[in-house]
Structure 1
Amino acid sequence: MLFQISVGDSFSWLPDRKMNLFLVLVWCLCLVTGKSGFGGTDEKWGYAKVNEKAHMFWWLYYTTATSDYTQRPLVIWLQGGPGGSSTGIGNFLEIGPVDVTQQPREINWISYLNVLFVDNPVGTGFSYVENNDTAYFAKNNTAIAQNFLVFLQGFLNENSEFQKVPIYIFGQSYGGKMAVDIAWLINQESKAGNVNCNLKGIALGDSWISPIDSLISWPNYLYNLGFLDTEEFNTLKTVTDYIQEDVANGNFENATQYFHATQFIINKFTSVDYYNVMKEQNKVYNLRNSEWKENPEDVYVLKGIIPDDIFESLINIKQVLKSQDEDDHQTLYKLMNGPVKTALNISDILPIEWGEQSDMVFRAVDLDFMKPVTELVERLLNETDIEVSVYNGQLDLIVDTPGTVAWVNKLHWRYSETWKETERIPIVIDNIYEGYQKRYKNFNLYWVHRAGHSVPADNPHTMASILKQITHID
């Protein structure tokens, strides 16, 4: 390699034509693909070297809806975390053709359109950074988008039939936050002629767009559902007020620390599952010492802020609740590092276990984690033709619906006043009320009943209906 580029660097020093050539060269020299697949469908996958030490893994599923796959859109699925794997979690736990037990999924997205799972940012899932070199993990949304652009440029050159196919980026949780910056950069580079991409829309599912709007809604959400008493409500609100003040003052590192601490408080007070408040949590297991020792500062920041007796009980916590999701993830871990890795023939390429670097990915964005991307959502709505869709499960806590509606209602875009006056209409499927929708021009909002953080997994029928509406297919 002739250039050393850290993930925080900008490509602005490269003239447009040289930048385009650089991206293509990186891809062509480092691409590894396969076709046999896993799960009995027509697939393709590979690695793209997005900078000197960072390798991004992608996995494409061709749709089974038609013999000519170019007649259907391409959905790019981005998982959250950051550090959650699209090829693992999104694929086997949510929308892929088979589930984590390798059984066919009744409602899967490949039966409607093409799906491209990308392990993004680098270090996620099967993506990796050589030698755990922290300089090459993306530290903010800008760097994440730049790395993704390198990947996409190469993917569309290698698979040129998708250059004209309508593309929609679906981002769940933190994946939605990443999707906003990625969509903006793709739009700008498309105008400059640096990428041939027919990006039509982005869909933000239970997405971390305005973190503080989510957090400050937690106390009321939990209190109104009966998970907190008055004293517990006041304690939690005291901490979320601190976080709100830090965000307002630009102290994002402190805000991230308090965010982690807040989760320990909720674990102390409630039996709630962050990702679906109606899920049963009836198993208790010992907290691993290694987990606790890695982040003691996340709790110690609460000293003097919350009552002393509650602080002491947090310090001495020995057990935490366990949900069924954790069992699913253990099964997924074994699946990805066993049969999947073998079927994709990447064991000799991948120097780490699937998911091994996910914690490093998460910690790399500490300074960026609590920053909102609402202004960029506004720019997408005001300055581009990209359609922005937001959907949220009513049972999600981590990105609860009240928090999502709060940031949506504060958006300043060219049709915001008309959109607010637009009627909210029910989503009815098979005579069942499944939620509500509000749509005007290039902005859509969906409220989804009986679903938590992972809407496609919790309410697949309704999500399939929303998917077809967003991507404009029958």
Structure 2
Amino acid sequence: MERPKTCTVAAVLLLFLLTDGGSAGPVSAAKESWGYVDVREGAHMFWWLYYANNPGTSYTELPLIMWLQGGPGASSTGFGNFEEIGPLDRELDERDSTWIQAASVLFVDNPVGTGFSYTDTVDALTKDVAGVASDMMVLLKEFFSQKEEFQNIPFYIFSESYGGKMAAAISLELTKAISSGGIKCNFAGVALGDSWISPIDSVLTWGPYLYSTSLLDDAGLMEVGSAAEAIKRAVTDGDFVKATELWSVLENVVEQNTNGVNFYNILGQESDDDDDSTVVKSLLQEDYLTSLARRHIRPLHSESLGQLMNGKIRKKLGIIPRNVTWGGQADAVFASMSGDFMKPVIDVVDELLEAGVNVTVYNGQLDLIVDTIGQENWVKALKWPGIEDFNKMKWTALDDPESPGVTGAFVKSYKNFSFYWILKAGHMIPSDQGDMALRMMQMITQQE
């Protein structure tokens, strides 16, 4: 039997699919649609759309946002949806700070092989952001052809982590496709959250950031700095596979010198069923790609989230092939992209700004893996003519929506470029500061 490509329903009608008997918890009343797009032979990409659910405003009067997760190999339809901005959390309870109250949200499991997306063979996995962008053009062309009602609605791409690197490349190709008439949509801007735009700027600032927050001593600072410089030499030599391997070494050095600092929020520690010393020893014994996937992909595909996605959600969706497991190809996706991992895309951001695309950078104060110091470094190195005036500006304080009078963020904007500094948040800003993230999104999409 041929797999159905799309399904559109009102989620409230699927209550029985989200419960295994007994009492039912809250279910989003938003209209939903999902489906597959065959972006290449043997490559099948899954998407899931929530129509905006605002009692006072039609979805046609609110923007459309595509959310891209990082990794590469982390699932938007899983983690971004149920852990960050979707209408329901992992327990299927309603999320007060869901973004669908202010926008329609399109989650895409990208690249192919991520989440419910899959490939027929390992050879069909993408190897770089150029391939990722090419696949996404096929998906977006199909999406906007199917959903003509969204063609004139302002369309934004929001991203997190490696998703930001992919979002930059996707945005540039989308701009070209719109200009040539290949895709009809109203592209309004891209937002790069804690994004892996310049890997070397991140790793070179890990040591100083950790030292300034009392998480490294002098000896630790020297060890971390030495490991980071080795990565810099590999990048300078153009050996990006070696740079990725050395990045894994650097992370082990950081863990050993900080007693297991959490790379996604420095106020926490790496958690695992085993004690920290056992975890570090295990990571050191694994090949570097396996250890990187274990550290950065598998936590986003936790056992409880995996049970939800491969259980109730799979049953609800009804179109997932029997041989596809949510997240089953995640490690392979990361491995396939390893040669592209440490390559920067600052030049792509410059091209976007020069083309007049609205670009926003936003970063969490407590993030280590993409620390704010590193983000500021590559931003200052932009060749866009407006960067000098941007750098001279002072930022503006924003109140925390949950605590009026208390600063929740700072923002600075000049022409088509903005930067948001989000306080008390780590790598996953909507998880740590949901209300502040929602307000930021509304500001970026010009709703306040």
Whole-angstrom CA distance in 2 between matches of 1:335 and 1:283: 20
The alignment covers a number of residue pairs equal to 421
Give 2:100's aligned residue: 110
1:356 match? 328
**Alignment pair present for 1:428 and 2:399:** yes
Task: Give the deviation of 1:297 after TM superposition.
Answer: 8.5
8 Å Cα contact 1:206/1:453 also seen in 2: yes
Q: After superposition, what is the alpha-carbon deviation per residue over 1:199-228, rounded to whole angstroms, capped at 9, x for unaligned?
A: 110000000000000000001111111111
Show the counterpart of 1:54: 43
Amino acid of the structure 1 residue aligned with 2:323: P
Q: Give the equivalent residue in structure 2 for 1:190.
A: 178
CA 1:43–1:290 in structure 2 vs 1: closer, same or farther (change >3 Å)? farther
Give the aligned partner of residue 385 of structure 2.
Answer: 414
- The one-letter amino acid of 2:77's match is T
Preserved contact between residue 255 and residue 280 of structure 2 (Cα < 8 Å): no
SS of corresponding position for 2:70: coil
Q: Distance in 2 between matches of 1:250 and 1:177?
A: 18
Give deviations 1:159-184, integer Å, cap 9, x for gaps: 01111110000010000000001000
2-structure distance, mates of 1:246, 1:279: 31
Q: 1:284 touches 1:321 (CA, 8 Å); kept in 2?
A: no
1:376 aligns with 2:348: yes
Q: In 2, distance between residues paired with 1:97 and 1:34?
A: 17
Higher mean C-alpha displacement, 412-421 vs 437-446: 412-421
- Paired AA for residue 356 in structure 2: D
Q: Distance in 2 between matches of 1:249 and 1:138?
A: 24
Asked if the contact 2:272–2:279 (Cα under 8 Å) also holds between the matched residues in 1, the reply is: no
2:317 to 304, 324, 344: 344
- Offset at 1:436? 1.0
How far off its partner does 1:329 sit? 2.0
Give, in whole Å, the separation in 1 of the partners of 2:429 and 2:159: 12
Instruction: From the superposition, tell whether residues 464 and 298 of structure 1 become closer, same or farther in structure 2 (CA, over 3 Å).
Output: closer
Tell me the secondary structure at the aligned position of residue 164 of structure 1. coil
- For the pair 1:163 / 2:155, whether they are aligned, the reply is no
5+ residue gaps, structure 2: 15-26
**SS of corresponding position for 1:216:** helix
TM-score (structure 2 length as normaliser):
0.89
What SS is found at the alignment partner of 2:33? strand
Aligned match of 2:22 = none
How far has the Cα of 1:123 moved from its partner?
0.2
Contact 2:409–2:423 (CA<8 Å) still a contact in 1?
yes
Q: Displacement of 1:381 after TM fit?
A: 0.4
Cα contact 1:30–1:48 (8 A) shared by 2 = no
Aligned partner of 1:295 in structure 2 is: 287
Q: Distance in 2 between matches of 1:289 and 1:338?
A: 33
SS at match of 1:195: coil
Structure 1's 409 and 370: CA in aligned 2 closer, same or farther, altered over 3 A?
A: same
The runs of 5 or more residues in structure 1 that have no matched partner are: 1-28, 300-319
**Is the 1:283–1:321 Cα contact (8 Å) retained in structure 2?**
no
The counterpart of 2:424, out of the listed 450, 455, 464, is 450
CA contact (8 A) 1:34 1:45 kept: yes
> CA 1:54/1:294 → structure 2, altered by over 3 Å: closer, same or farther?
farther
* Structure 1 position 414, deviation (Å): 2.1
The alignment-based identity, stated in percent, is 39
In structure 2, the partner of 1:310 is none
Q: Is the 8 A contact 1:201 1:386 kept in 2?
A: yes
Partners of 1:419 and 1:188 in 2: how far apart? 26
1:103-182 → structure 2 map (5 Å cutoff): 103-130=93-120, 133-182=121-170
